[in-house]
Structure 1
């Protein structure tokens, strides 16, 4: 009679002990590639079956022992740290990857045992793609705007928008996705037709992935053609500019000569501008003109008969 009673008491105490531990995920949202924390909290029991309170963590991809009393089985991957007090210990998982998700993790704290499964969902997990796993192509020809974005891996489903010349085309984008391992591969595209002469503008692509918004791509389009009429206008403009430069240069030279002549005349070095322009005084020029006129008007004297 005494033995069955002891068995009942032990079973009740064991069930009570099992109900006094809790395992929760502290890192929300979980970012793939980052650090994840699992907290194991044990509460006091009326019958302390193990006063040493030994701790152990197990589970993961291979369902094996991960950490025992602070000693890690893989120091580069797992580490145990003290929580708020001695009733809480935290398991840190470094470089969280796809293989670490959808796995069961178990914490044993004294006689208290608790477990949880890190189930992949679109609320608590995020995989932010890098530039090396993102492919963007875009073009603007004859008013046809084409944009395509491809994420090799992403989680959760991305919500992207294209802003072109302050117009948001987010609601006009089409997306397709498929499973790539445990995550997604996603393809987002946009096709829009403007006027045929629409050939330039600024474009910005951004995507919201979980709780984070990232800039994916930025581009300035300028595909406007240069027609023959514009080319002829450019040639005419260049000739007109050359002519204007020559005319201004000649004008400046003439002004400089006049100013120089005025200055030299004031100093008494010359008597007129002719000495600057032709190298001899104006009096010589006047003398030559007078001589020419007198030569033209000369009439020989009449001879009288004897």
Structure 2
């Protein structure tokens, strides 16, 4: 009879909470590829009941520990912030690879995990190797062709010709 009781308790424990008391959101006003993006974990709903609780961020390939209690796994890639209502992680030199994996913030026994997704408020500026140009002259006309593999928002291109 005792084994059945243990199985029932383990089963009920494994269900866990249906909703989380913490959540994270993108704090940066705009996601800029090549720039820095800050994720903020809001802990205001559990702040008073969890003083001194450990904080952590998980993510990236193999869902590894990105930070724990104010220390980062890679200070060249991540930096941390704290506030009265939560804590944040800044992803430096943000790339498309940073979008592939989910991110999880944990505060004590409370955690929240989701994928970082893009809305229309992001910017992708192509690097010099992603911009291909050709130009030619024919019958006193200059023809310029510019190929951008990726760019967002759609660029507004202007050509200025200086004859001095």
Same fold (TM over 0.5): yes
- Which one of the candidate residues 112, 115, 135 is aligned to 1:114? 112
Which residue does the alignment assign to 2:151? 155
Question: Is 2:55–2:105's contact at 8 Å kept on the other side of the alignment?
Answer: yes
Q: What is the deviation of 1:74? A: 1.0
Which residue does the alignment assign to 1:53? 53
Which residue does the alignment assign to 1:284? none
Structure 2 Cα separation of the partners of residues 150 and 44 of structure 1: 50
Question: Is 2:76–2:92's contact at 8 Å kept on the other side of the alignment?
Answer: yes
Verify: 1:30 aligned to 2:31, yes or no. Answer: yes
Structure 2 gap ranges (5+): none
Structure 2 Cα separation of the partners of residues 69 and 60 of structure 1: 18
TM-score normalised according to structure 2 size: 0.75
Q: What is the deviation of 1:20? A: 1.6
Q: What is the deviation of 1:218? A: 3.2
Q: What is the deviation of 1:133? A: 3.9
User: Using a 3 Å threshold, how does the CA distance of structure 1 residues 118 and 128 change in structure 2: closer, same or farther?
Assistant: same
CA RMSD of aligned residues (A): 3.0
Which residue does the alignment assign to 2:121? 124
Mapping of 1:122-201 within 5 angstroms? 123-131=120-128, 133-142=130-139, 146-151=143-148, 153-156=149-152, 158-161=154-157
Question: Is 1:70–1:79's contact at 8 Å kept on the other side of the alignment?
Answer: no
Question: Is 2:56–2:68's contact at 8 Å kept on the other side of the alignment?
Answer: yes
Deviations 1:214-245 (A, max 9, x none): xxx533479xxxxxxxxxxxxxxxxxxxxxxx
RCO comparison, higher one (Cα < 8 Å, 6+) = 2
Question: Is 2:23–2:41's contact at 8 Å kept on the other side of the alignment?
Answer: yes
Question: Is 2:56–2:106's contact at 8 Å kept on the other side of the alignment?
Answer: yes
Q: What is the deviation of 1:140? A: 4.2
Structure 2 Cα separation of the partners of residues 120 and 155 of structure 1: 14
Question: Is 2:42–2:86's contact at 8 Å kept on the other side of the alignment?
Answer: yes
Question: Is 2:123–2:153's contact at 8 Å kept on the other side of the alignment?
Answer: no
Q: What is the deviation of 1:93? A: 0.9
Structure 1 Cα separation of the partners of residues 116 and 82 of structure 2: 21
Which residue does the alignment assign to 2:66? 66
Q: What is the deviation of 1:144? A: 5.1
TM-score normalised according to structure 1 size: 0.43
| SS, match of residue 62 in structure 1 | helix
Structure 1 Cα separation of the partners of residues 59 and 23 of structure 2: 16
Structure label with greater radius of gyration: 1
Verify: 1:96 aligned to 2:94, yes or no. Answer: yes
Structure 2 Cα separation of the partners of residues 219 and 136 of structure 1: 16
